[in-house]
């Protein structure tokens, strides 16, 4: 069996410490930001969300009220 390199040992030690702290590794897949069209798709989705938000007056009222609440906490 090959002898682990110092980097491998360090990674194993770090992972063991994280597991001992009650954590576990998790792999997730995310969009590839390097793909052609990624930025344009982000802009498109942002526009859709913004248009939807502007049409939802109840949401706007809720957000305004939340901002007022946040401001009150800063002054306390």
Total domain count, the chain: 1
- Asked, for residue 67, whether it belongs to a domain, the answer is yes
Quick: pLDDT tens for 25-34: 999 999 999 9
Handedness of CA 29, 35, 37, 42 (dihedral sign): positive
- Look up the domain containing 30 and give its range: 6-75
- Asked, for residue 40, whether it belongs to a domain, the answer is yes
**pTM of this prediction?**
0.47
Quick: pLDDT tens for 17-56: 999 999 999 999 999 999 999 999 999 999 999 998 888 8
- Asked, for residue 1, whether it belongs to a domain, the answer is no
- Asked, for residue 66, whether it belongs to a domain, the answer is yes
- Asked, for residue 51, whether it belongs to a domain, the answer is yes
């Amino acid at each position: 069996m090959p002898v682990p390199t110092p980097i491998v040992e360090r990674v194993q030690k770090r992972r063991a410490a994280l597991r001992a702290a009650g954590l576990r590794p998790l792999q997730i897949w995310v969009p590839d930001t390097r793909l052609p069209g990624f930025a344009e798709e982000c802009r498109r989705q942002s526009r859709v969300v913004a248009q939807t938000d502007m049409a939802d007056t109840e949401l706007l009222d809720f957000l305004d009220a939340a901002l007022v609440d946040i401001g009150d906490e800063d002054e306390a």
